[in-house]
Chain A
Protein backbone atom coordinates (compact mmCIF):
# COMPACT_ATOMS: atom_id res chain seq x y z
CA UNK A 1 0.00 0.00 0.00
CA UNK A 2 1.57 3.28 -1.04
CA UNK A 3 1.52 6.14 1.43
CA UNK A 4 0.73 9.01 -0.88
CA UNK A 5 1.00 12.63 0.03
CA UNK A 6 -2.51 13.51 -0.77
CA UNK A 7 -2.80 16.93 -2.16
CA UNK A 8 -6.05 17.65 -3.82
CA UNK A 9 -5.36 20.70 -5.93
CA UNK A 10 -7.16 21.95 -8.96
CA UNK A 11 -4.51 20.57 -11.29
CA UNK A 12 -6.59 17.43 -10.94
CA UNK A 13 -8.76 18.70 -13.77
CA UNK A 14 -5.84 18.79 -16.21
CA UNK A 15 -4.87 15.28 -15.33
CA UNK A 16 -8.45 14.23 -15.71
CA UNK A 17 -8.28 15.29 -19.33
CA UNK A 18 -4.98 13.50 -19.72
CA UNK A 19 -6.48 10.48 -18.09
CA UNK A 20 -9.44 10.30 -20.38
CA UNK A 21 -7.30 10.63 -23.47
CA UNK A 22 -4.44 8.39 -22.42
CA UNK A 23 -5.99 5.52 -20.56
CA UNK A 24 -6.37 2.42 -22.64
CA UNK A 25 -7.95 -0.89 -21.85
CA UNK A 26 -11.40 -1.58 -20.60
CA UNK A 27 -12.94 -1.48 -17.18
CA UNK A 28 -14.76 -4.68 -17.66
CA UNK A 29 -18.15 -5.11 -16.03
CA UNK A 30 -20.92 -2.55 -15.73
CA UNK A 31 -22.28 -1.95 -12.23
CA UNK A 32 -25.36 -3.85 -13.21
CA UNK A 33 -23.45 -6.92 -14.35
CA UNK A 34 -21.25 -6.57 -11.34
CA UNK A 35 -24.10 -6.32 -8.87
CA UNK A 36 -25.66 -9.49 -10.20
CA UNK A 37 -22.72 -11.31 -8.66
CA UNK A 38 -23.44 -9.75 -5.26
CA UNK A 39 -26.84 -10.97 -4.25
CA UNK A 40 -29.50 -8.76 -2.75
CA UNK A 41 -28.15 -5.33 -3.69
CA UNK A 42 -30.74 -2.68 -4.53
CA UNK A 43 -30.59 -1.19 -8.04
CA UNK A 44 -29.92 2.28 -6.79
CA UNK A 45 -28.94 3.84 -3.48
CA UNK A 46 -28.40 7.38 -2.35
CA UNK A 47 -27.80 8.06 1.33
CA UNK A 48 -29.61 11.35 1.94
CA UNK A 49 -28.30 12.15 5.42
CA UNK A 50 -24.64 12.73 4.56
CA UNK A 51 -23.89 16.46 4.87
CA UNK A 52 -21.68 18.12 2.27
CA UNK A 53 -18.69 20.37 2.88
CA UNK A 54 -17.00 21.95 -0.12
CA UNK A 55 -13.28 21.44 -0.10
CA UNK A 56 -11.04 24.46 0.46
CA UNK A 57 -7.41 24.48 -0.67
CA UNK A 58 -5.92 21.03 -0.21
CA UNK A 59 -8.31 20.04 2.54
CA UNK A 60 -10.13 17.16 0.87
CA UNK A 61 -9.09 14.85 3.74
CA UNK A 62 -10.55 17.01 6.53
CA UNK A 63 -13.65 17.73 4.40
CA UNK A 64 -14.29 14.04 3.73
CA UNK A 65 -13.76 13.11 7.37
CA UNK A 66 -16.02 15.93 8.59
CA UNK A 67 -18.81 14.68 6.33
CA UNK A 68 -18.72 11.11 7.62
CA UNK A 69 -18.17 12.11 11.25
CA UNK A 70 -21.18 14.43 11.04
CA UNK A 71 -23.16 11.61 9.55
CA UNK A 72 -22.29 9.51 12.64
CA UNK A 73 -23.54 12.33 14.87
CA UNK A 74 -20.24 14.02 15.73
CA UNK A 75 -20.59 17.74 15.14
CA UNK A 76 -17.31 18.84 13.56
CA UNK A 77 -16.34 21.04 10.66
CA UNK A 78 -13.43 20.41 8.28
CA UNK A 79 -11.60 23.30 9.95
CA UNK A 80 -11.77 21.50 13.32
CA UNK A 81 -10.15 18.47 11.74
CA UNK A 82 -7.32 20.16 9.86
CA UNK A 83 -4.86 20.02 12.79
CA UNK A 84 -5.71 16.35 13.39
CA UNK A 85 -5.50 15.15 9.80
CA UNK A 86 -3.64 17.52 7.52
CA UNK A 87 0.14 17.34 6.98
CA UNK A 88 1.15 20.84 5.82
CA UNK A 89 4.59 19.84 4.54
CA UNK A 90 3.01 17.38 2.12
CA UNK A 91 -0.05 19.48 1.38
CA UNK A 92 -2.22 16.48 2.02
CA UNK A 93 -3.68 14.00 4.45
CA UNK A 94 -2.40 10.49 5.08
CA UNK A 95 -4.73 7.53 5.25
CA UNK A 96 -3.38 6.70 8.70
CA UNK A 97 -4.23 10.22 9.87
CA UNK A 98 -7.84 9.76 8.77
CA UNK A 99 -8.05 6.48 10.65
CA UNK A 100 -6.47 8.05 13.73
CA UNK A 101 -8.91 10.97 13.68
CA UNK A 102 -11.91 8.66 13.48
CA UNK A 103 -10.65 6.75 16.52
CA UNK A 104 -9.95 9.94 18.42
CA UNK A 105 -13.63 10.74 18.07
CA UNK A 106 -14.67 7.33 19.43
CA UNK A 107 -15.55 5.99 16.02
CA UNK A 108 -14.71 2.69 14.42
CA UNK A 109 -12.54 3.09 11.31
CA UNK A 110 -12.80 0.15 8.94
CA UNK A 111 -10.64 0.21 5.81
CA UNK A 112 -12.10 -1.68 2.88
CA UNK A 113 -10.91 -2.64 -0.56
CA UNK A 114 -12.77 -3.23 -3.78
CA UNK A 115 -16.06 -2.57 -5.50
CA UNK A 116 -17.98 -5.41 -3.91
CA UNK A 117 -17.26 -4.09 -0.41
CA UNK A 118 -18.05 -0.51 -1.48
CA UNK A 119 -21.45 -1.37 -2.96
CA UNK A 120 -22.29 -3.57 0.02
CA UNK A 121 -21.63 -0.69 2.43
CA UNK A 122 -23.59 1.81 0.35
CA UNK A 123 -26.50 -0.60 0.13
CA UNK A 124 -26.38 -0.87 3.94
CA UNK A 125 -26.63 2.92 4.17
CA UNK A 126 -23.00 3.55 5.15
CA UNK A 127 -21.13 6.32 3.29
CA UNK A 128 -17.55 5.41 2.36
CA UNK A 129 -14.52 7.69 2.08
CA UNK A 130 -12.68 6.69 -1.10
CA UNK A 131 -9.15 7.58 -2.08
CA UNK A 132 -8.82 8.30 -5.78
CA UNK A 133 -5.85 9.04 -7.93
CA UNK A 134 -7.27 11.47 -10.45
CA UNK A 135 -3.96 11.55 -12.32
CA UNK A 136 -1.85 8.68 -13.49
CA UNK A 137 0.35 6.20 -11.70
CA UNK A 138 3.45 8.21 -12.62
CA UNK A 139 1.71 11.58 -12.26
CA UNK A 140 -0.56 11.16 -9.28
CA UNK A 141 -3.24 13.58 -8.13
CA UNK A 142 -4.58 12.16 -4.92
CA UNK A 143 -8.06 12.98 -3.81
CA UNK A 144 -10.52 11.93 -1.10
CA UNK A 145 -14.24 11.87 -1.84
CA UNK A 146 -17.19 10.51 0.05
CA UNK A 147 -19.25 7.99 -1.89
CA UNK A 148 -22.91 8.20 -0.94
CA UNK A 149 -24.62 6.05 -3.53
CA UNK A 150 -24.78 4.40 -6.93
CA UNK A 151 -27.23 3.80 -9.72
CA UNK A 152 -27.00 0.60 -11.73
CA UNK A 153 -29.23 1.73 -14.56
CA UNK A 154 -27.16 4.87 -15.16
CA UNK A 155 -23.96 2.99 -14.37
CA UNK A 156 -22.73 5.73 -12.01
CA UNK A 157 -21.31 6.19 -8.54
CA UNK A 158 -22.53 9.24 -6.53
CA UNK A 159 -19.87 11.24 -4.72
CA UNK A 160 -19.51 14.28 -2.49
CA UNK A 161 -16.30 15.41 -4.09
CA UNK A 162 -14.30 18.63 -4.18
CA UNK A 163 -16.74 21.47 -4.61
CA UNK A 164 -19.57 19.36 -5.90
CA UNK A 165 -22.24 17.67 -3.81
CA UNK A 166 -23.77 14.47 -5.13
CA UNK A 167 -21.60 14.36 -8.23
CA UNK A 168 -22.50 11.59 -10.66
CA UNK A 169 -19.33 9.91 -11.86
CA UNK A 170 -19.43 7.29 -14.57
CA UNK A 171 -18.46 3.88 -13.32
CA UNK A 172 -15.57 3.48 -15.76
CA UNK A 173 -13.89 6.70 -14.69
CA UNK A 174 -14.56 6.04 -11.04
CA UNK A 175 -13.11 2.53 -11.14
CA UNK A 176 -10.01 3.74 -13.00
CA UNK A 177 -9.30 6.56 -10.57
CA UNK A 178 -9.98 4.29 -7.63
CA UNK A 179 -7.89 1.42 -8.97
CA UNK A 180 -4.89 3.77 -9.10
CA UNK A 181 -5.30 4.18 -5.36
CA UNK A 182 -5.52 0.41 -4.83
CA UNK A 183 -9.29 0.57 -4.26
CA UNK A 184 -8.79 2.04 -0.80
CA UNK A 185 -11.93 2.98 1.11
CA UNK A 186 -12.81 3.79 4.71
CA UNK A 187 -16.05 3.19 6.57
CA UNK A 188 -16.50 5.27 9.73
CA UNK A 189 -19.21 4.12 12.11
CA UNK A 190 -20.32 4.74 15.67
CA UNK A 191 -18.73 1.96 17.73
CA UNK A 192 -21.18 -0.83 18.27
CA UNK A 193 -22.26 -0.89 14.61
CA UNK A 194 -20.80 -3.35 12.15
CA UNK A 195 -19.71 -2.57 8.60
CA UNK A 196 -21.89 -4.64 6.26
CA UNK A 197 -18.91 -5.95 4.29
CA UNK A 198 -16.75 -6.77 7.31
CA UNK A 199 -15.02 -10.09 7.74
CA UNK A 200 -14.26 -11.18 11.26
CA UNK A 201 -10.52 -10.66 11.26
CA UNK A 202 -10.52 -7.25 9.57
CA UNK A 203 -13.26 -6.01 11.85
CA UNK A 204 -11.41 -7.17 14.95
CA UNK A 205 -8.31 -5.34 13.77
CA UNK A 206 -10.40 -2.18 13.53
CA UNK A 207 -11.75 -2.80 17.05
CA UNK A 208 -8.21 -3.42 18.30
CA UNK A 209 -7.33 0.01 16.92
CA UNK A 210 -9.92 1.47 19.27
CA UNK A 211 -8.66 -0.64 22.18
CA UNK A 212 -5.13 0.61 21.61
CA UNK A 213 -6.28 4.19 22.12
CA UNK A 214 -7.17 2.98 25.66
CA UNK A 215 -10.83 3.86 25.33
CA UNK A 216 -11.77 0.63 27.05
CA UNK A 217 -15.52 1.18 27.20
CA UNK A 218 -15.74 2.17 23.55
CA UNK A 219 -13.61 -0.79 22.53
CA UNK A 220 -15.71 -3.15 24.67
CA UNK A 221 -18.75 -1.97 22.71
CA UNK A 222 -16.99 -2.73 19.45
CA UNK A 223 -16.10 -6.26 20.59
CA UNK A 224 -19.62 -6.89 21.90
CA UNK A 225 -20.99 -5.93 18.50
CA UNK A 226 -18.67 -8.47 16.86
CA UNK A 227 -20.21 -11.18 19.04
CA UNK A 228 -23.64 -10.43 17.61
CA UNK A 229 -22.41 -11.60 14.22
CA UNK A 230 -19.58 -14.01 15.07
CA UNK A 231 -21.00 -15.59 18.20
CA UNK A 232 -17.99 -17.32 19.64
CA UNK A 233 -15.21 -15.33 18.01
CA UNK A 234 -12.04 -15.90 20.02
CA UNK A 235 -10.66 -12.46 19.21
CA UNK A 236 -13.87 -10.68 20.20
CA UNK A 237 -14.27 -12.63 23.45
CA UNK A 238 -10.66 -12.06 24.45
CA UNK A 239 -10.83 -8.40 23.46
CA UNK A 240 -14.02 -7.90 25.45
CA UNK A 241 -12.49 -9.68 28.45
CA UNK A 242 -9.32 -7.61 28.26
CA UNK A 243 -11.29 -4.34 28.07
CA UNK A 244 -13.54 -5.27 30.98
CA UNK A 245 -10.46 -6.21 32.95
CA UNK A 246 -8.96 -2.79 32.28
CA UNK A 247 -12.20 -1.23 33.45
CA UNK A 248 -11.90 -3.16 36.72
CA UNK A 249 -14.92 -5.32 35.88
CA UNK A 250 -13.45 -8.63 37.03
CA UNK A 251 -16.72 -10.55 36.93
CA UNK A 252 -17.46 -9.35 33.41
CA UNK A 253 -13.93 -10.23 32.31
CA UNK A 254 -14.26 -13.65 33.92
CA UNK A 255 -17.47 -14.26 32.02
CA UNK A 256 -15.85 -13.39 28.67
CA UNK A 257 -12.74 -15.49 29.25
CA UNK A 258 -14.87 -18.42 30.44
CA UNK A 259 -16.94 -18.20 27.29
CA UNK A 260 -13.72 -18.10 25.24
CA UNK A 261 -12.26 -21.10 27.06
CA UNK A 262 -15.45 -23.08 26.61
CA UNK A 263 -15.80 -22.29 22.89
CA UNK A 264 -12.06 -22.67 22.23
CA UNK A 265 -10.75 -25.38 24.55
CA UNK A 266 -7.47 -25.40 22.58
CA UNK A 267 -6.76 -21.73 23.35
CA UNK A 268 -4.17 -21.44 26.09
CA UNK A 269 -4.64 -17.67 26.08
CA UNK A 270 -8.29 -17.98 27.19
CA UNK A 271 -7.35 -20.17 30.19
CA UNK A 272 -4.35 -17.98 31.00
CA UNK A 273 -6.37 -14.77 31.18
CA UNK A 274 -9.19 -16.51 33.03
CA UNK A 275 -6.63 -17.63 35.61
CA UNK A 276 -5.57 -14.02 36.15
CA UNK A 277 -9.02 -12.66 36.80
CA UNK A 278 -9.81 -15.55 39.15
CA UNK A 279 -6.60 -14.95 41.08
CA UNK A 280 -7.41 -11.31 41.42
CA UNK A 281 -10.68 -12.25 43.01
CA UNK A 282 -8.72 -14.34 45.51
CA UNK A 283 -10.01 -17.60 44.00
CA UNK A 284 -6.56 -19.17 43.88
CA UNK A 285 -7.50 -22.85 43.66
CA UNK A 286 -9.62 -22.27 40.55
CA UNK A 287 -7.00 -19.92 39.17
CA UNK A 288 -4.23 -22.50 39.53
CA UNK A 289 -6.41 -25.10 37.81
CA UNK A 290 -6.97 -22.77 34.83
CA UNK A 291 -3.32 -21.73 34.64
CA UNK A 292 -2.34 -25.40 34.66
CA UNK A 293 -4.69 -26.00 31.74
CA UNK A 294 -3.01 -23.15 29.82
CA UNK A 295 0.45 -24.59 30.46
CA UNK A 296 -0.74 -28.02 29.29
CA UNK A 297 -2.09 -26.52 26.04
CA UNK A 298 1.16 -24.63 25.42
CA UNK A 299 1.77 -22.93 22.09
CA UNK A 300 3.50 -19.73 21.06
CA UNK A 301 2.78 -17.93 24.36
CA UNK A 302 3.68 -20.80 26.68
CA UNK A 303 6.34 -18.77 28.49
CA UNK A 304 3.52 -16.42 29.57
CA UNK A 305 1.42 -19.32 30.82
CA UNK A 306 4.31 -20.59 32.93
CA UNK A 307 4.79 -17.12 34.35
CA UNK A 308 1.07 -16.90 35.15
CA UNK A 309 1.15 -20.20 36.99
CA UNK A 310 4.20 -19.21 39.04
CA UNK A 311 2.73 -15.82 39.96
CA UNK A 312 -0.57 -17.30 41.05
CA UNK A 313 1.06 -20.07 43.05
CA UNK A 314 3.18 -17.47 44.85
CA UNK A 315 0.19 -15.22 45.48
CA UNK A 316 -1.92 -18.16 46.67
CA UNK A 317 0.70 -19.15 49.23
CA UNK A 318 0.97 -15.57 50.48
CA UNK A 319 -2.77 -15.00 50.84
CA UNK A 320 -5.77 -17.11 51.90
CA UNK A 321 -8.03 -18.74 49.36
Chain B
Protein backbone atom coordinates (compact mmCIF):
# COMPACT_ATOMS: atom_id res chain seq x y z
CA UNK B 1 0.00 0.00 0.00
CA UNK B 2 2.78 2.33 0.93
CA UNK B 3 4.37 1.49 -2.41
CA UNK B 4 1.20 2.52 -4.19
CA UNK B 5 1.10 5.73 -2.16
CA UNK B 6 4.64 6.50 -3.15
CA UNK B 7 3.81 5.90 -6.82
CA UNK B 8 0.87 8.25 -6.83
CA UNK B 9 2.70 11.44 -7.66
CA UNK B 10 4.79 10.12 -10.53
CA UNK B 11 1.79 8.28 -11.98
CA UNK B 12 -0.36 11.38 -11.74
CA UNK B 13 2.43 13.28 -13.44
CA UNK B 14 2.51 10.78 -16.27
CA UNK B 15 -1.25 10.91 -16.68
CA UNK B 16 -1.17 14.68 -16.87
CA UNK B 17 1.67 14.52 -19.37
CA UNK B 18 -0.21 11.99 -21.48
CA UNK B 19 -3.33 14.14 -21.42
CA UNK B 20 -1.33 17.20 -22.39
CA UNK B 21 0.25 15.30 -25.27
CA UNK B 22 -3.10 13.98 -26.43
CA UNK B 23 -4.47 17.50 -26.42
CA UNK B 24 -1.51 18.66 -28.49
CA UNK B 25 -1.54 15.76 -30.92
CA UNK B 26 -5.23 15.11 -31.35
CA UNK B 27 -6.16 18.58 -32.45
CA UNK B 28 -9.61 19.72 -33.39
CA UNK B 29 -9.14 19.05 -37.06
CA UNK B 30 -12.84 18.30 -37.38
CA UNK B 31 -13.21 21.72 -38.95
CA UNK B 32 -10.25 21.43 -41.30
CA UNK B 33 -11.05 20.95 -44.97
CA UNK B 34 -9.78 17.59 -46.20
CA UNK B 35 -7.92 17.15 -49.47
CA UNK B 36 -10.77 14.89 -50.53
CA UNK B 37 -13.22 17.77 -50.22
CA UNK B 38 -10.91 20.09 -52.22
CA UNK B 39 -10.70 17.56 -55.03
CA UNK B 40 -14.47 17.01 -55.02
CA UNK B 41 -14.98 20.74 -55.48
CA UNK B 42 -12.38 20.66 -58.22
CA UNK B 43 -14.27 17.81 -59.89
CA UNK B 44 -17.49 19.80 -59.83
CA UNK B 45 -15.74 22.74 -61.51
CA UNK B 46 -14.32 20.42 -64.17
CA UNK B 47 -17.77 18.89 -64.74
CA UNK B 48 -19.22 22.34 -65.31
CA UNK B 49 -16.44 23.22 -67.74
CA UNK B 50 -16.98 19.95 -69.59
CA UNK B 51 -20.68 20.66 -69.93
CA UNK B 52 -19.92 24.14 -71.26
CA UNK B 53 -17.53 22.64 -73.78
CA UNK B 54 -20.15 20.15 -74.96
CA UNK B 55 -22.77 22.85 -75.32
CA UNK B 56 -20.30 24.73 -77.50
CA UNK B 57 -19.96 21.84 -79.98
CA UNK B 58 -21.48 22.72 -83.31
CA UNK B 59 -23.57 19.49 -83.49
CA UNK B 60 -25.17 20.40 -80.20
CA UNK B 61 -25.61 24.08 -81.04
CA UNK B 62 -27.46 23.21 -84.24
CA UNK B 63 -29.90 20.96 -82.39
CA UNK B 64 -30.44 23.48 -79.64
CA UNK B 65 -31.11 26.20 -82.17
CA UNK B 66 -33.62 23.93 -83.87
CA UNK B 67 -35.47 24.03 -80.56
CA UNK B 68 -35.12 27.79 -80.48
CA UNK B 69 -32.56 27.71 -77.68
CA UNK B 70 -29.52 29.94 -77.80
CA UNK B 71 -26.43 28.12 -76.55
CA UNK B 72 -25.18 31.13 -74.55
CA UNK B 73 -28.48 31.10 -72.73
CA UNK B 74 -28.11 27.37 -72.17
CA UNK B 75 -24.66 27.83 -70.64
CA UNK B 76 -25.91 30.58 -68.37
CA UNK B 77 -28.59 28.21 -67.13
CA UNK B 78 -26.04 25.48 -66.52
CA UNK B 79 -24.17 27.87 -64.23
CA UNK B 80 -27.24 28.12 -62.07
CA UNK B 81 -27.48 24.37 -61.49
CA UNK B 82 -26.61 23.10 -58.04
CA UNK B 83 -23.52 20.97 -57.40
CA UNK B 84 -25.81 18.01 -56.83
CA UNK B 85 -27.45 18.47 -60.24
CA UNK B 86 -24.09 18.84 -61.94
CA UNK B 87 -22.89 15.62 -60.30
CA UNK B 88 -25.99 13.79 -61.58
CA UNK B 89 -25.45 15.08 -65.09
CA UNK B 90 -21.77 14.07 -65.02
CA UNK B 91 -22.77 10.58 -63.90
CA UNK B 92 -25.25 10.35 -66.78
CA UNK B 93 -22.64 11.56 -69.25
CA UNK B 94 -20.27 8.83 -68.08
CA UNK B 95 -22.90 6.25 -69.02
CA UNK B 96 -23.27 7.58 -72.55
CA UNK B 97 -22.28 5.14 -75.27
CA UNK B 98 -19.65 6.33 -77.74
CA UNK B 99 -18.60 8.94 -75.23
CA UNK B 100 -14.96 8.28 -75.85
CA UNK B 101 -12.64 6.40 -78.14
CA UNK B 102 -8.92 5.78 -78.39
CA UNK B 103 -8.63 9.00 -80.31
CA UNK B 104 -10.72 11.38 -78.29
CA UNK B 105 -14.24 12.39 -77.47
CA UNK B 106 -16.87 11.77 -80.08
CA UNK B 107 -20.26 13.32 -79.72
CA UNK B 108 -22.66 10.50 -80.45
CA UNK B 109 -26.31 10.90 -81.42
CA UNK B 110 -27.44 9.73 -77.97
CA UNK B 111 -25.28 12.34 -76.34
CA UNK B 112 -26.76 15.13 -78.47
CA UNK B 113 -30.26 14.01 -77.56
CA UNK B 114 -29.27 13.92 -73.91
CA UNK B 115 -27.81 17.41 -73.97
CA UNK B 116 -30.74 18.91 -75.82
CA UNK B 117 -33.25 17.33 -73.45
CA UNK B 118 -31.15 18.45 -70.54
CA UNK B 119 -31.22 22.05 -71.66
CA UNK B 120 -34.91 22.02 -72.52
CA UNK B 121 -35.54 20.48 -69.09
CA UNK B 122 -33.64 23.28 -67.44
CA UNK B 123 -35.63 25.80 -69.44
CA UNK B 124 -38.87 24.13 -68.39
CA UNK B 125 -39.85 23.08 -71.92
CA UNK B 126 -39.59 19.36 -71.14
CA UNK B 127 -39.66 17.21 -68.02
CA UNK B 128 -37.46 14.18 -68.63
CA UNK B 129 -34.87 14.15 -65.85
CA UNK B 130 -36.04 13.95 -62.27
CA UNK B 131 -32.75 15.34 -60.97
CA UNK B 132 -33.36 18.73 -62.55
CA UNK B 133 -35.46 20.87 -60.27
CA UNK B 134 -38.20 22.40 -62.38
CA UNK B 135 -39.18 26.03 -62.14
CA UNK B 136 -42.60 26.63 -60.70
Contact = CB atoms under 8 A, between A and B. Distances in A.
B31 to A, nearest CB: 4
Classify the secondary structure of A's interface with B. Answer: helix
Contacts of B126: none
Interface string B71-106: 000000000000100000000000000001011000
Interface stretch (B1-9, B12-20, B21-29, B52-60): B21-29
B66 interface: no
B31 A208 contact: no
B70 interface: no
Contacts of A273: 32-33
A149 interface: no
B19 to A, nearest CB: 16
Interface string B31-50: 11111111101110010000
Interface residues of B, number: 22
Contact of B83 (A201, A242, A300): A300
Classify the secondary structure of B's interface with A. Answer: helix
Q: Which of B28, B35, B41, B102 has the most CB of A within 10 A?
A: B35
B107 to A, nearest CB: 17
Interface residues of A, number: 34
Interface string B99-127: 01011000000000000000000000000
Nearest to B83: A300
A260 B28 CA distance: 21
B102 A114 contact: yes
A245 B32 contact: yes
A280 interface: yes
Given A201-B42, A235-B38, A248-B25, A272 B103 contact: no
Contact of B102 (A179, A205, A245, A308): A179
A290 interface: no
A39 interface: no
Nearest to B45: A201
A235 B39 contact: yes
B85 to A, nearest CB: 14
A115 B102 contact: yes
A15 to B, nearest CB: 21
A113 interface: yes
A276 B37 CA distance: 17
Contacts of B29: 245, 276
B82 to A, nearest CB: 10
B46 A269 contact: no
The 8 closest A-B pairs by CB, nearest first: A269-B33, A239-B35, A307-B31, A308-B31, A115-B102, A238-B38, A304-B31, A273-B32
23 contacts: A28-B103, A116-B103, A179-B102, A183-B102, A201-B39, A201-B46, A204-B42, A208-B35, A235-B39, A238-B33, A239-B35, A239-B38, A242-B35, A269-B37, A269-B38, A276-B27, A276-B31, A300-B41, A301-B37, A304-B32, A304-B33, A305-B31, A311-B28
Interface of B: 25, 27-39, 41-43, 46, 83, 100, 102-103
Interface of A: 28-29, 113-116, 175, 179, 183, 201, 204-205, 208, 211-212, 234-235, 238-239, 242, 245, 248, 269, 272-273, 276, 280, 300-301, 304-305, 307-308, 311
